[in-house]
Structure 1
């Protein structure tokens, strides 16, 4: 838990504005964002900032269909379009589609189709002013395809940085369908009590559970739960180049997956000397296995009575790999356990909408534990909990290198000593600090652009 006095000194203030609305007169920006819902969320807010920078009108963002995610959801299937447009109206102009005279243009032929390969990763605002604005002036339209991590965290003008925060924390609101299901999941995780969590209102809006008239609800007695993002899907496992105790069969399976989905890395593995699995693990570069996650949580004091919500896609190894978790934590559930087949059916073929439900449940949790601090999903949740949590929403972000040292070098160790070392490894990541230069405002919103600090 972060020191409350320090953490609570930071309060949200990116909703305040000290500029007038942009006319958007330089042309139109179209964005087709790739990746999963979390990558798309970042791309949308970066596009909002670019639209303001270039005095352009933003066309409501589109989401690219991915063979990995297999989800045809568009912006309006996940976020409330009218709220997004109206909330950002004092900042930028947003329209739902291009004017008819621009719809028939061959954007590639006229040089207005801009792919990720055309933009340096983490591009500075000066790049857009120098290379993109002239195209906008010439053709009146620009189409960014992909737009993954194509705007730097720094240096960015203060007001643009603030606009990114305003977009992420205020303008993006889930559609009622997702809010209602999210509220139902929260209620069931809290065992149907009437307590209202710190972030419920921001996440599920009018569906937030509130006390009945005349009924007193004591927050201390509200049923609590821990949300766990166990980043142990096959793509993460294969890409890590680590070993997980499955022997030759596991090695062949992961190498086959690598060949198909990460061919460049597979070729590197054959032609270059890369760190060994043992070296990677000792450096804390391997995803925490479910077995290691169990030890970490137990070392932090969580026990069989703890209610745990497990987020994420299919865990590599399936139920057998999760056995260690479910044995020690029998109250571990997923959205698939909590919702009936009828309730989950509307989301069945929409992985991004299912991920939005995970976002709600993890963000609303009394404690959120991640096993991979580099995950976009975990980063966005951690930032949201900082922004709205008032210093009362702890996030467990383990130092994997220190944990690896504990797990690897201590084959026999007394439990009390183990507990002390695990807690120290986690506690060392619980300092309250403002956003480091070059780091994302979505993950680290404690900065003058997003939050206000009072002594």
Structure 2
């Protein structure tokens, strides 16, 4: 059945606009006008829809960032042809056997010990001494009973440095009972200082060094000494075969799951929050627990209250946060990474200990990135059993996974963050995004008060802020302006955080 009424209506409507015998020119003009009017209606409605979307409140779990090209998210920064180089200079002489010995007690956690041992290799070279394989710290916060050979490949360490320093496993039996010079070598010292320390050989055959960390200056050392530090850290201090083997397996399993991944060093652990005095976002009960813990916490052998370095006024949590001295919270990390453009499907490996607040805090990050992975999810119980109770060995697995990641992001600038960043620079300036915590706190607070909203404008602000904080080549930073005396050395960028220019150069100076 034909709907004649409808046909009659369309015909009468058309007749209002066109004459019964319309010319081709009039028909063409009519069609063009109709098309232009349709385009106008489409654009007008589209603008209204966009304006309505912009006015809608943005929730963290629904945040839509501007689409960022894959290469911008994942590719390493342009390296200008720079590569690792540790070649010895023409004047470098091979090490000879020495009947003078240096024994060392390395202090701190895994990476504090690693960089300290590398320093002591260089010190032994300067002082023309035989280095006894260092003893690892068993008395500090971590209370790890691991020996040197549990964590490192001891034979490889000795053999790979034989041209530089003579290294032995133990002090000769005939020297075990002789008097030793027990020294706390001055921090950040140069070659001249250790040349003076050679005077000790006149009275002693053995020098015992009580602490190994930060024994050498970051800058103004001979090129051969700086490159020796790199050979020691990046080549000689290889992890033990069980650690290297499992670390490699875990990286492969991560790649099988998600392909590319971010390694997030999330320093939101109880000890770190207590140590820094950072309580933002915590309950009153949690803040009080951390305050009490902070009075007795020291990463070395003694509680903070009995250590001169920590006899300071009570830490002001708000001032710490505003100054950028606090680790980012899990929620802040989620906001940060989404603003940079990483999609919710991104796989993120958490290189850290137990997160303070447990699942409650972790869910704040997972609302942005559900694919959060811990080593316990990609390793079997049997594989991890050998590492139980050995914090440094477990940290070594995190180090390997972080070193090999497509992107490394530290939420706080601690020893591991600095050492991993330096290693990734040495390996070709792999992408390392170092959050501007001081700058981020300002805009996070504006989000909190409603002055800013998550969206494309916020994303652009965060990305612009971190444009030059992604691991691209740059020379190591010197001391802060206005700081005088030995205190200025503490403000210098660590040699192990950025070994450029001494250990990174053009292809002409490539490693041997």
1:252 matched residue in structure 2: 288
Residues 50, 418 of structure 1: CA spacing in aligned structure 2 closer, same or farther, 3 A cutoff? same
Return the offset for 1:85. Answer: 1.1
CA distance in structure 1 between the aligned counterparts of 2:75 and 2:263, rounded to whole angstroms:
21
- CA distance in 2 between counterparts of 1:352 and 1:51 reads 25
The Cα offsets for residues 81-125 of structure 1, whole Å up to 9 and x where unpaired, read as 111111111111111111111012243xxxx122xxx33322222
Q: Aligned with 1:309: secondary structure?
A: strand
User: Could you say what the CA RMSD is over the residues aligned between the two structures, in angstroms?
Assistant: 2.5
Change (3 A) 1:325 1:90: same
For normalisation by structure 1, the TM-score amounts to: 0.85
C-alpha contact (below 8 Å) 1:15/1:166 kept by paired residues: no
User: Does 1:104 pair with 2:177?
Assistant: yes
Work out which of the residue numbers 492, 500, 504 in structure 2 matches 1:446: 500
Corresponding residue of 1:36: 109
Match of 2:371 in 1: 331
Structure 2 gap ranges (5+) = 1-71, 479-491
1:185 to 2:250 alignment: yes
Give 1:14-413 correspondences, 5 Å limit. 14-16=86-88, 18=90, 19-25=92-98, 27-107=100-180, 112-114=181-183, 118-130=184-196, 132-191=197-256, 223-261=259-297, 264=304, 276-373=316-413, 375-388=414-427, 390-391=428-429, 393-410=430-447, 411-412=449-450, 413=452
Residue 41 of structure 1 deviates from its aligned partner by 0.3
How far residue 241 of structure 1 moved from its aligned partner, in angstroms, is 2.4
Question: Residue 119 of structure 2 contacts residue 213 of structure 2 at CA under 8 Å; is this kept in 1?
Answer: no
- Could you list the runs of 5+ residues in structure 1 that have no partner in the other structure? 193-221
The worse-fitting range, judged by mean Cα deviation, of 313-322 and 347-356 is: 313-322
1:29–1:394: structure 2 CA closer, same or farther, 3 Å change rule? same
SS at match of 2:103: strand
Q: Secondary structure at the match of 2:210?
A: strand
Deviates more, 1:182-191 or 1:8-17: 8-17
Match of 1:427 in 2: 467
Other structure's SS at 1:228 match: strand
Question: In 2 relative to 1, CA 75–149 (structure 1 residues): closer, same or farther, beyond 3 Å?
Answer: same
CA shift digits 1:238-269 (9 cap, x unpaired): 2222332223212211111012215656999x
Aligned length: 413
Query: 2: distance between equivalents of 1:362 and 1:37?
Result: 14
Change (3 A) 1:62 1:400: same
Would you say the 8 A contact 2:275–2:297 is kept in 1? no
The whole-number CA distance in structure 2 between the counterparts of 1:113 and 1:15 is 34
Deviation, structure 1 residue 27: 0.5
Kept in 1: contact 2:280–2:318 (CA 8 A): no
| 1:436 aligns to 2:489 (yes or no) | no
Task: Give secondary structure in 2 for the equivalent of 1:382.
Answer: helix
Quickly say closer, same or farther: Cα 1:24–1:129, change in 2 above 3 A. farther
Q: Which one has the largest radius of gyration?
A: 2
Q: CA deviation at 1:297?
A: 0.8
Change (3 A) 1:261 1:28: same
* Structure-1 separation of matches of 2:466 and 2:216: 31
For residues 254-313 of structure 1, the C-alpha deviation after alignment (integer angstroms, 9 at most, x for no partner) is: 111012215656999x99766743333222222111111110011112222111110011
TM-score normalised by L of structure 2 = 0.76
